[in-house]
Amino acid sequence: MLILAASALAAPQEVAVRREEVRVYLLDVYGNCSSSHIEVVIAIEYPAGNITVVERVKGIVPDTLVVLEGPKPTRIKELEDGYVELVWSFNREEEGSLVLKYRAESQISAPLSVRAEFEGRVLDNESYVIRDVTVGDGVRIKVRLLSFSDRTLGDCAYPYPTLVVLTYPKRMLEVCETLPEPNATASQDSDGVLYWSFKLEREALLRIEFRVEDMSAWRSIWIPPLTIQLIDDPEGIVRYAERSGLRETLEEAVSSYEYLRELREGLENVSTDVEHMAGVMRSIGFKEVEASRELARVAKTLNSLLRLFEKEGINSSDIRKAVEEAVKLVDNAMEVLGLLEDLLESLPSIDGPLSDVRERALERIREARRSLASVKKTLASLKHSSSTSPISRLRELYVSLSTAQRMLSESGSMHVRLAEELEGQYAERVGSVLELLDRMIVELEGRIEYLNKTCRKMECLEKEAKRRLEEWRDSVTVYVDGAERGFIGSFTVKHLVYVKLPLITSEIPQPSRPQWRAEEEGGVAWRFHVLSVLPLIAILAILKLKARRRKEEFEGVEDELLELIDEIEELLKQSSNYRSGSPLHS
């Protein structure tokens, strides 16, 4: 035992690693990418020793790497598979933490296509401007997002939690209509902001209509880039797949379907003792419904107990009291289910194809009693254990009890309904019963088809999500004193897409031909000569300023400065003549 304890203490500790990756793309309204870069943050909590961190990142341009925080990589190596290996090595005498942050250009395309269209307007591609917009006009923007995930996954589309943000100058633009409605709106200084939040699987379409209320002094409106944030969350997909219970729901639906098919075939051959059959079936249904109610009460109590454990600051006496009350409720439920089991066994049997109805109900109730016994055992262990494992087991039992309760409730309701249909003259009622069964069978067929499709999709997504998680975890390796260490940590990947929107401008009025000629004869030449003089004045000012500081260096250029001043004065005279309307001719 001492040797085992010493070995456990001597086992190397895991290293805590957190990696955050943000890929940024700048697109135009046609979806063309003009620039793309990646920002990576790796936070490490390390022990004392020689630490080596190796990261494999895909699609970056090594020559563009810029370190934003932490030491520079000691080695950068391009690999054959399109990855780049970055290595950091450092020695630490004490345990601590370190943040490695860098940015580099990326060669990876965005995981979606974005097209933004100004409906009814013509975009000048050369100047990236939309013209002929005036105050009072409507401006309609259509944004289409198309995910690329189905290119590799086929019918299974990988979901991205998506946030779309559109900022606009609220003094100049008024929102008239949006489709769909934004999830939230906000005001930031002189800007209005629209937010859409959804899961992008295949495609999404947004429409926004503005009314032009005003324009800037330059007769234009500038709208900031449309921002689209996608979060790659494979951990969330795996958690949902594990908790959804889709496979169990499908199995229940298939079992019910097969049972209804057998029931229908049996009803077609039933010829005697229909009233007896209906009475027994109703009794069975009532017992199943009563049993489901008992299970529902226990499940509700377990749920409240689990919520109590999740609260902070709850003292042990409150927990003990809640557990004792739960045990009493479980004991009562087990007693009630035992009585129901005895009553079912005392019912007369049903001859013919429905002979196994009672046996099925008995098996469901016995299974529920076994689950209750497990719950009681787990509750008892909570009184004497500080471990969280009984709580985890209790949570599993809660899910199992909820499933058993639902199956008993559905089965009991179905048996009661069928008993009511069977009562009366069988010759008159058998048709309606068969019709009911047919409808239920058709509904179940549709439900099974949907569940099958959903299960296949979820399995595909879970497989892809696990692949991505494994790829992310393999992207970072930590060595301590030359030995690879396991690590615990989190990985996040975000995609930020900025769509640059064109400038909206009004038509600039052009003067008539006589006015243009008058300006050309009287004013254009004057402005031209003024512009010619300004650079000379600037040169003279610079020379004089330098001459004050280093007079001895400019004594030899005095004559040149005098000539330059004469030229400037002559130009000013010419400019004065142009202003008076009598241009000089050389």
The answer to whether position 450 is within a domain reads no
119 in the same domain as 105:
no
The answer to whether position 255 is within a domain reads no
Displacement of CA 408 from its chain's centroid (Å): 37
The closest of 4, 10, 36, 41 to 23, measured between CA atoms, is 36
Burial 413-436 (b: 16+ CB within 10 A, else e): ebbbbbbebbbeebeebbeebeee
146 in the same domain as 222:
yes
Instruction: Output the pLDDT for position 491.
Output: 87
Please tell me the distance from the alpha carbon of residue 260 to that of residue 360, in angstroms, as a whole number.
Answer: 13
Average pLDDT over residues 133-162: 86
Please tell me the distance from the alpha carbon of residue 101 to that of residue 69, in angstroms, as a whole number.
Answer: 5
Structure tokens at 177: 């209509």
280 in the same domain as 388:
yes
SS3 content of the chain, % helix, strand, coil (to 5): 50, 30, 20
Q: Which residues contact 436 (CB under 8 A, 6 or more apart)?
A: 417, 418, 421
137 in the same domain as 105:
no
Instruction: Output the pLDDT for position 179.
Output: 95
Q: What confidence tier does 534 reach under pLDDT thresholds 50, 70, 90?
A: very low
290 in the same domain as 374:
yes
Q: Looking at mean pLDDT, say which of 149-158, 284-293, 477-486, 526-535 comes out highest.
A: 477-486
485 in the same domain as 407:
no
Instruction: Output the pLDDT for position 49.
Output: 87
Domain-terminating residue out of 237, 262, 285: 237
285 in the same domain as 380:
yes
The lowest-confidence range among 20-24, 151-155, 226-230, 576-580 is 576-580
The alpha carbon torsion through 516, 519, 520, 524 (nearest 10 deg) reads: -130
The closest of 28, 228, 200 to 118, measured between CA atoms, is 28
The answer to whether position 75 is within a domain reads yes
259-to-92, 254, 286, 380, 483 alpha-carbon distances in Å = 68, 8, 19, 38, 59
Instruction: Output the pLDDT for position 536.
Output: 46
232 in the same domain as 342:
no
Domain-terminating residue out of 214, 237, 260: 237
Instruction: Output the pLDDT for position 532.
Output: 44
Q: What confidence tier does 573 reach under pLDDT thresholds 50, 70, 90?
A: low
Domain-terminating residue out of 423, 439, 454: 423
Q: Which residues contact 477 (CB under 8 A, 6 or more apart)?
A: 53, 54, 55, 484
Q: Of residues 549 and 504, which shows the higher confidence score?
A: 504
Q: Residue 414: which CATH number? A: 1.20.120
The lowest-confidence range among 237-251, 326-340, 403-417, 501-515 is 501-515
Burial 145-166 (b: 16+ CB within 10 A, else e): bebebeeebeebbbbbebebbb
Q: What is the pLDDT of residues 232-248, one digit of tens each?
A: 988 888 888 777 777 77
491 in the same domain as 537:
no
19 in the same domain as 79:
yes
- Give the helix/strand (H/E) hosting 365: helix 357-382
Please tell me the distance from the alpha carbon of residue 138 to that of residue 501, in angstroms, as a whole number.
Answer: 16
Q: Residue 219: which CATH number? A: 2.60.40
Q: What is the pLDDT of residues 248-303, one digit of tens each?
A: 777 787 888 788 777 777 766 654 566 667 777 777 778 778 877 877 887 887 77
210 in the same domain as 88:
no
The answer to whether position 443 is within a domain reads no
The lowest-confidence range among 2-6, 62-66, 102-106 is 2-6
Q: Is 34 exposed, middle or buried (0-12, 13-18, 19+ CB in 10 A)?
A: exposed
- Tally of CB atoms within 10 A around 37: 17
Instruction: Output the pLDDT for position 581.
Output: 43
pLDDT higher than threshold 50 for residue 226: yes
The CA-CA-CA angle for residues 404, 406, 408, to 5°, reads 70
Instruction: Output the pLDDT for position 567.
Output: 59
User: In percent, how much of the chain has pLDDT > 70?
Assistant: 75
Detail the DSSP E strand segments found in 59-124. 66-69, 75-78, 83-92, 96-105, 112-119, 123-124
Instruction: Output the pLDDT for position 75.
Output: 95
Predicted structure pTM score? 0.57
| Number of domains the chain contains | 4
Q: Looking at mean pLDDT, say which of 360-369, 411-420, 492-501 comes out highest.
A: 492-501
pLDDT higher than threshold 80 for residue 376: no
Domain that holds residue 131: 114-237
Q: What is the pLDDT of residues 302-361, one digit of tens each?
A: 777 777 777 655 666 766 777 777 777 777 777 777 777 777 777 666 665 556 777 777
The answer to whether position 569 is within a domain reads yes
The answer to whether position 303 is within a domain reads yes
The answer to whether position 405 is within a domain reads yes
Please tell me the distance from the alpha carbon of residue 186 to that of residue 197, in angstroms, as a whole number.
Answer: 14
User: In percent, how much of the chain has pLDDT > 90?
Assistant: 33
Q: What is the pLDDT of residues 120-131, one digit of tens each?
A: 999 999 999 999
Average pLDDT over residues 452-460: 82
Q: In whole numbers, what is the pLDDT of the chain averaged over residues?
A: 78
Contact of 291 with 421, CB cutoff 8 Å: no
The answer to whether position 295 is within a domain reads yes
409 in the same domain as 303:
yes
Average pLDDT over residues 216-221: 92
